[in-house]
Amino acid sequence: MGKAFDLMLIIEFIPTLIQYLGITLQILAASIILGLVLGIAAAIPRLYKIPILNQLVILYVSFIRGTPILIQLFLVFYGLPAILLLLFSIDITRMEAIYFVIITYAISNGAGFSEIFRAAIRAVDYGQTEAAFSVGMTSRQNFFRIVLPQAVRIAFPNMANSVIGSLKDTSLAFTIGVMDMMGRGDTLIAATAHALEVYLSLSIIYYIIVVMFEKIFSKLEKYFNRYQKADVTAVA
Amino acid sequence: MTIDIPFIWIAFKEIIKALPITLILTIVPLLAGFLIGIGVALVRIYKMKFLYRIANGYVSFFRGTPIIMHIMVIYFGFPLLLDQLSLRFDLGIQTNKIPIILFVLIALTLAAGSYLSEIIRSGIISVSNGQMEAAYSVGMTKFQAMNRIILPQALAQSIPNFTNIFVGFLHTSSIAFLVSQKEVTGAANIVASVNLKFLEAFIAAGIIYWGITILVEGISFLLEKKVTAYNRGGVS
């Protein structure tokens, strides 16, 4: 055990913990991709105001925005097996915890994404649509060639924030027993009793990853904005 | 495994007793963080020497790492630090007597400070420079202009962002259960483990969080209307 606090241990722990970064990124990637699909599916009833489905999506988004991710995680972890068993008599209680995490984060991201898409599409000036129609485009051409490319540009910064938020949220996956970086950190604490050092190493890893993501996203944002005129802002 | 609907109500009554702790864990960090946030925002806007770099690092680090890390690092690190200090200067502080909630509050305050500083900063930047010039032209000092002209407008514009942060921290406070705080999620966990009815207990907790979120969003909507009543936009 030795000293109560050992600075060197922080550096020693990083290689051990970073091996589990893959799991964290897997959770992130899978939940983002599923979330995108879910988000698009949820945004359509809202944009076209399809009755009943519209209200259901409002309820879905409100619930996800209204409850902590931790509660959602527990609800999926305990609720999904119960529902599937009850309705379809499928037993998934032995499914690995990581799938529950991915499902939860996908549901959670889907709600966020649907709101982002909706806001972005509505933010495109209606004059653009009128202009597209005036040159003889069909409604479908207008959507894919005119509205969507502009909406992607508007949605991108919010999407980037969502992804980074989601990355930080994955640190809660260990609460249902997933062996990601946090889970490995827990076992390291049990083995070495150096909790502070483990959490500091984890903080450093997360920070570096988040900063890298921010750099990449800001490059992409510049790329998406390449046709925009420079913003004129009056900074105090 | 079936869902015991009546038990949700029993769990609800039990869990809602823990609501005050959740509210303390939400409101205290936000109020204390607001003061930090204004200070940090002003330091960053006026680019004060040295302080500016520290403020940038603080905001970047706390926004770049999951809040669970802040809670854990302070929960494990603060007692160690205080023990060392008390040993060196013979202060006679017994760290094991300090309630854990204090560490959680400190961690959440630091996190809230970083998030709020960004919101306040963007609020201040969004107030047009002409307002400052007008304030100077009627003979106000810099402090008066900031205090009477810029900040009220900046804060009024930031109400939707403040609501998001409030809801975010309401949900974040659920992490405190990992350091055995008996707030809503912690209470739900206890009710769940005692009765072995996990799903029902977390449904009840979810309803509580959802209800408060809807309430807060409603209040914020009314407040926003009232506070920005003077503000007539470009078209109306």
* Residue A126 phi, psi (nearest 5): -65, -25
Q: Are B224 and B160 in contact (CB under 8 A)?
A: yes
Q: Are A85 and B3 in contact (CB under 8 A)?
A: no
Q: Which among B125, B174, B188 is the nearest to A235, CB-wise?
A: B125
The predicted complex's ipTM stands at 0.84
CA A149 to chain centre: 21
Residues from chain B contacting residue A195 (CB–CB below 8 Å): 72, 76
Could you read off the pLDDT of A164-177 as tens digits, one per residue? Answer: 999 999 999 998 88
Choosing among B2, B44, B70, B73, which should be mutated to test the A contact, i.e. which has the most A CBs within 10 A? B73
Give domain status of residue B236, yes or no: no
Give domain status of residue B144, yes or no: yes
Tally of CB atoms within 10 A around B50: 8
Give domain status of residue B45, yes or no: yes
The pair of structure tokens assigned to A97 is: 């915890």
Q: For residue A1, what pLDDT band results from cuts at 50, 70 and 90?
A: very low
Q: Dihedral of the CA atoms A81, A162, A66, B22 (nearest 10)? A: 100
Give domain status of residue B148, yes or no: yes
Residues from chain B contacting residue A168 (CB–CB below 8 Å): 65-67
Model pLDDT, residue B215: 94
Model pLDDT, residue A189: 87
CB contact under 8 A, A207 and B64: yes
Judged against a pLDDT cut of 70, whether residue A162 lies above it is answered with yes
Whole-number Å distance between alpha carbons of B12 and B211:
12
Place of tokens 């509660």: A71
Scan residues 138-177 of A and list those with Cβ closer than 8 Å to B: 168-169, 171-172, 175
CB contact under 8 A, B210 and A79: no
The pair of structure tokens assigned to B189 is: 């966990």
Scan residues 124-183 of B and list those with Cβ closer than 8 Å to A: 124-125, 127-130, 132, 150, 167, 170-172, 174-175, 177-178
Mean pLDDT of chain B: 88
Could you read off the pLDDT of B197-235 as tens digits, one per residue? Answer: 888 899 999 999 999 999 999 999 898 888 877 766 555
Domain extent for B39: 5-227
Give residue B171's identity as a one-letter amino acid code. Answer: H
Q: For residue B1, what pLDDT band results from cuts at 50, 70 and 90?
A: low
Could you read off the pLDDT of A188-210 as tens digits, one per residue? Answer: 888 888 888 899 999 999 999 99
- Chain B contact for A67, CB < 8 A? yes
- Chain B contact for A7, CB < 8 A? no
Model pLDDT, residue A3: 64
Whole-number Å distance between alpha carbons of A200 and A6:
11
Poorest-confidence range of A27-36, A49-58, B75-84? B75-84
Helices (H), B46-158: 51-64, 67-89, 100-126, 129-137, 142-144, 151-157
Q: Which among B150, B185, B198 is the nearest to A78, CB-wise?
A: B198
Q: For residue B95, what pLDDT band results from cuts at 50, 70 and 90?
A: confident
Place of tokens 């806001």: A119
- Chain B contact for A212, CB < 8 A? no
Judged against a pLDDT cut of 80, whether residue A100 lies above it is answered with yes
Distance of residue A57 Cα from the nearest chain B Cα, in angstroms: 16
- B105-130 per-residue burial string, b: 16 or more CB within 10 A, e: under 16: bbbbbbbbbbbbbbbbbebbbebeee
Mean pLDDT of A12-17: 86
**Domain count across chain B:** 1
CATH of the domain at B191: 1.10.3720.10
Poorest-confidence range of A9-18, B65-74, B227-236? B227-236
Residues from chain B contacting residue A206 (CB–CB below 8 Å): 64-66, 69
Distance of residue A136 Cα from the nearest chain B Cα, in angstroms: 30
The CATH class, in words, for A21-178 is mainly alpha
Mean pLDDT of A75-90: 85
Whole-number Å distance between alpha carbons of A171 and A47:
33
Q: Give residues with Cβ within 8 angstroms of A189, minimum separation 6.
A: A195, A198
Could you read off the pLDDT of A207-228 as tens digits, one per residue? Answer: 999 999 999 999 998 888 887 7
